[in-house]
Structure 1
Amino acid sequence: MQGRHREGSGQPRWLAPFVILTVFLLSALPLGRLAYTGLVSAANGKVWALLASPELANAMVNTLTTSFLGMLISLAIGGAFALLLTLCDIRAKTALSFLFMLPMMIPPQVTALAWIGMTGPSSTLLKAVGLAPPLGSSQPLYSIAGIALLLGVQHAPLVYLALRAGLLALPQEGIEAARLSGASSFQLLTQIVLPLSLPGFIAGAAIAFVSGVGNFGIPAILGIPASIFTLPTLIYSRFASFGTSTFGDIAILSGLIGVIAMLGLAIQDRAMRGRDYRLIGLSGKAATFRLRAWRPLAELGLWLALFVMLVAPLTALVASSLAPAYGVPLTLKTATLAAYEEILFRQSVTRTAFGNSLVLALTTAFGLLTVTSLTAYVLVRGRGRLRFLLSALVDIPYALPGVVISVSYVLLFAAPIPLLGVTLYGTLWIILLAYLSSFFAVSLKPMVSALTQLDPGLEEAARLSGAGFGRRMVDIILPLVGPAAGASVILVFLIACNELTVSALLWSAGTQTLGVVIYNLDDSGSFDLAAAMSVLVVLMVIGLMLLLELLGTRLPRGVVPWRN
């Protein structure tokens, strides 16, 4: 027993080294390779020509502008939904929250296609109802404002989640005491609720800004046709026009994206200092504002917002998929399922993409479940500074934009692996490794949450009875964290199956994913086929979210993000 387990603990000796090695290979090694390439390029003097180029300056301005404006839109939309659904006596809160989370779960390129189908002179939906602008009118979304608007819609649920967590912790007693002192609802909101909620607003603003910086799908669909490049799309264009300095350039560009993302998080940390409010009294029960006569108006506003943000764009997407060609008015006579027949039965590339995405998503979800079960055990049951370091290394790839992760894996595996002579670039394996790195934190969070709530006395009693580590995991731990494990698998599968940003630079012929094919179909002018694939993806997303909703009552709090 001494040789197999650490003294005074039930952990086998191999567990911590295995977790450390896994985290090193998935996180530290690729990011270290990225940093090394950037430093070499800078040492050779190639960095100055890139930094001085007008192309980079424009991309930097576009990235900061769209991300900042998108952040403001996200704050307005997400803040309004969080305040109304958390603090007010709104009816159908669960349904409203579920629908509001959908834009975040839907891939950004699908969001862009849906909004394109809803606006502009070629909109099938607008033509069907006779509201289409005159032919020759410009598409308003092909602009900085259009990109910022969709970034705001896409990331508003992030603000909602960040703000709601703080609102749920407001003590009912403090609100009631202020009411008894004669404070009006407006005074309660402006003098108590909003000041105490400021950390949530700051956190939501930071994550919305960082997410906007790294978003590839929306700027690619809306920006590239109008020659509006952000840093992620500039990396994509540089990679497409491969040259002698490509690796150095994309390493430096990726480093800039990483620096902007980290600066955004650092500003958040700075703004949060001095605002760590400690609430005395019972919390966890949200303060309630009774809207009375204003309630129907508030509910109407929420449903109208969801109609504009979700229902109308998705309806336009369905209409575009049923039209015989993009821009043709949809009627009972012109409606056709030809686009669905084409992508499901005729085009081999779409069937390949479905297969690749399903295989990658399933392998990522279950592979990470195995790794994160052990990692969560080390983080929850372990001691010392190792836990903080491991947790930080797991979180960094998820905090960084996906394009940075993909570039790091391109640089790591562009050449054959030393000694083995095996090339991973151009295969599904490199996409799988990048997925494992990017979604490690997504899989880990539910497992850590579930293990934290388990009484360690159960495992300790089994250990004292002679049960080994494997037996305790199989008979005690895994059955008790089963619902969280199921949520982990579904969340990772949901995100990985629709991913575009990571795989955009890693795919090659035969390794296309759903996100890549949707983007390529739209780029080649087959909007109806791209719309049909997007509709199928949205149906899959809704189905998986409903499955998570069914599991929600058995999951630890916070695992299913839209549940109150």
Structure 2
Amino acid sequence: MSALPRARQEPRWLTLAVTGTILFLCALPLLRLAITGARSAGFEGIAGLLADPQLWPAFRNSLTTSLLGMILSVVLGMVFALALTLTDLRRRSALGILFILPMMIPPQVTALAWIGMTGPSSALLKAVGLAPSLGSPQPLYSIGGIALLMGVQHAPLVYLTLRASLLSLPRDAIEAARLAGAGRWRTLADIVLPLALPGLVAGASIAFVSGIGNFGIAAILGIPAGELTLPTLIYSRLTAFGAGTFGDIALLAALIAIIAFAGLFIQERALAGRDYRVLGHSGAAASFMLGRWRGPVEAMLWLVIGVILLAPFAALLAGALAPAYGVRLTPDTATLDAFREVLFRQSATRTAFSNSFLLAGAAALILGVMSLMTAYLLTRRRGRLARVLSALTDVPYALPGIVISVAFLLLFAAPVPFLGIRLYGTLSIILLAYLSSFLAVALKPVDSAFRQLDPVLEEAARMAGAGFSRRMRDILLPLVAPSALAGAVLVFLFACNELTVSALLWSAGTQTIGVVIYNLDDSGSFNLAAALSVIVVLIVALLMLLLHLGGRYLPRGTVPWQS
């Protein structure tokens, strides 16, 4: 067979540009981390780390909180996925969006909201006369409190992965079980759950890995209680900078990465031999009619939403309206001073808003364009290169954010060779870390859109002599642009409220909203941190609503929480 003419091939510059960009963003930082870790992994370096009295308690706390949080996430995520996907509940869409919202809210905001909902200083509990007596301990400042909030924060991850599996179930199998006389519980146990097990295991694994790398919840709840996890141990080492700091944090980050990959490996082993192949029509939505149980099940789910979302947000709002932390909130004491302070008087918060929106907007715009070029190459090119590039884009997103931030810190701590440009201490290093962390978020919707396109359209244009730029501009871009826009909005959502990556990379003048919220709470200004958090939650909710309303015009799978 003769070679295809040049017009039928992707441009060489596209292959080089995409390959170079992915290697720079996804491979080079991790390679730098590995090199630093290897240099520090001599006998003395490892012996010193193993002898560190803070290492093993932090290691144990990380595993404990991640495992307990994963269990809670699986329970909550499975209940909501089964109820909202397989039953005839009313207002399923609203319940689904509200259940997803805690995942989109920054973890430090979640921690502040729950602190405001519990303990003797809760403005909300004081307002309704249910606050514990003064001097009572804050129950969330504990390993159990960290695990509880991680479970709530990561339950939507289990929900999304399990829901995707449930939506692909064969209707024929469920109908056959019913015709054979199987009841609802028998069908659920023998048909639905075994076929949906891969999604459940994948969700549990993602929840565990997310817990290992969670910094915001562990920092706000663990540091006051003296309970360090591996991410907060890295943070404490960096803030107390000294000889050997880079080597220590490289080894600690490598340890977190090993735990994360171990969790993913266990997932693969658990699913080995469980490659279920289904025939027939998929889509088992509303397969179970609840009958007289529909009302109680709806009430239970709305109660859970109230406990994990509505009540914490009400406590956050009450804390922002109270004149000071611990003061009883009444119509006479309520004030908007905290909102005026963070919006108009605090220069740090204005800078943080500017930095966060600039970084999030730049990341969304750059990754929107990158996702178009990358998805085109990965879907049109076959072979080892495409597989390697696709795997590399997933690695930074699969790793905890603390590992990515350490990798970029090590890569750019010194001026760039030959150029003499110093990126550390600037917004540029945070932006590069965002591009690495969120490339997969922007790429997935566009990749899905390209794979759903009929290749005949582009083939016809090629036969007519249209070059790559003409085909992209006139045919492909109009069809995939909505998915690219949705991916960019998701990147903006994640980047605007991010803390874990920027916590290690910020400096004076480059702080982000997440960093300012953490610093305000750390300095004792709970009402100011609460006011800023309320604003963040409202922004996130508005962006999610806009994305949800526009999701009906996008290819299937573009908006994660929709069918």
* TM-score range relative to shorter protein: over 0.9
Structure 2 contact 7–465 (Cα < 8 Å) conserved: no
Structure 1 contact 175–287 (Cα < 8 Å) conserved: no
Question: Is 1:104 matched up with 2:100?
Answer: no
Aligned to 1:218: 217
Alignment of 1:132-281 (within 5 A): 132-281=131-280
- Give a deviation string over 1:8-44, Cα, whole Å, max 9, x none: 7331111101111000100111000000000001136
Structure 1 contact 171–286 (Cα < 8 Å) conserved: no
Name whichever of 177-186 and 350-359 sits farther off.
177-186
Alignment of 1:491-530 (within 5 A): 491-530=490-529
Structure 1 contact 170–287 (Cα < 8 Å) conserved: no
> Which residue type is aligned with residue 124 of structure 2?
L
- Give a deviation string over 1:360-393, Cα, whole Å, max 9, x none: 0000000011111110000001111111100111
SS at match of 1:431: helix
Aligned to 1:127: 126
SS at match of 2:500: coil
Where does structure 2 lack aligned partners over 5 or more consecutive residues?
none
Aligned to 2:345: 346
Tell me how far apart the structure 2 counterparts of residues 96 and 359 of structure 1 sit (CA, whole Å).
32
Instruction: Find runs of 4+ consecutive structure 1 residues off by over 6 angstroms.
Output: none
> Which residue type is aligned with residue 165 of structure 2?
G
Question: Is 1:291 matched up with 2:321?
Answer: no
Structure 1 contact 360–497 (Cα < 8 Å) conserved: yes
- Give a deviation string over 1:122-148, Cα, whole Å, max 9, x none: 000000000000000000000000000
Aligned to 1:77: 76
The Cα shift of 1:91 comes to: 0.5
Tell me how far apart the structure 2 counterparts of residues 15 and 482 of structure 1 sit (CA, whole Å).
19
- Give a deviation string over 1:498-550, Cα, whole Å, max 9, x none: 00000000000000000000000000000000000000000100110011012
TM-score by length of 2: 0.98
Q: 1:481 to 1:340 in 2, by over 3 A?
A: same
Name whichever of 358-367 and 553-562 sits farther off.
553-562
- Give a deviation string over 1:465-522, Cα, whole Å, max 9, x none: 2222111111111111121011011000000000000000000000000000000000
Aligned to 1:398: 397
Q: 1:314 to 1:418 in 2, by over 3 A?
A: same
Tell me how far apart the structure 1 counterparts of residues 287 and 320 of structure 2 sit (CA, whole Å).
43
> Which residue type is aligned with residue 498 of structure 1?
N
The Cα shift of 1:7 comes to: 4.0
Aligned to 1:118: 117
Aligned to 1:310: 309
Where does structure 1 lack aligned partners over 5 or more consecutive residues?
none
Question: Is 1:371 matched up with 2:370?
Answer: yes
Tell me how far apart the structure 2 counterparts of residues 216 and 119 of structure 1 sit (CA, whole Å).
21
The Cα shift of 1:455 comes to: 1.2
> Which residue type is aligned with residue 433 of structure 1?
L
Structure 1 contact 47–249 (Cα < 8 Å) conserved: no
Aligned to 2:27: 28
SS at match of 2:41: helix
TM-score by length of 1: 0.98
> Which residue type is aligned with residue 248 of structure 2?
D
> Which residue type is aligned with residue 170 of structure 1?
L
Question: Is 1:447 matched up with 2:449?
Answer: no
> Which residue type is aligned with residue 110 of structure 2?
T
Aligned to 1:301: 300
SS at match of 1:415: coil
Q: 1:6 to 1:273 in 2, by over 3 A?
A: farther
SS at match of 2:375: helix
Aligned to 2:381: 382
Tell me how far apart the structure 1 counterparts of residues 169 and 372 of structure 2 sit (CA, whole Å).
33
Tell me how far apart the structure 2 counterparts of residues 9 and 401 of structure 1 sit (CA, whole Å).
40
- Give a deviation string over 1:310-344, Cα, whole Å, max 9, x none: 00000000010000001111111100000011111
Name whichever of 200-209 and 493-502 sits farther off.
200-209
Tell me how far apart the structure 2 counterparts of residues 554 and 51 of structure 1 sit (CA, whole Å).
54
- Give a deviation string over 1:406-445, Cα, whole Å, max 9, x none: 0001100111111111110000000000000000000000
- Give a deviation string over 1:393-414, Cα, whole Å, max 9, x none: 1100000000100000110011
> Which residue type is aligned with residue 559 of structure 2?
V
SS at match of 1:226: coil
Aligned to 1:53: 52
> Which residue type is aligned with residue 86 of structure 1?
T
> Which residue type is aligned with residue 298 of structure 2?
E
Name whichever of 472-481 and 39-48 sits farther off.
39-48
Aligned to 1:19: 18
Aligned to 2:318: 319
User: Aligned residue pairs: how many?
Assistant: 562
Name whichever of 512-521 and 47-56 sits farther off.
47-56
The Cα shift of 1:97 comes to: 0.4
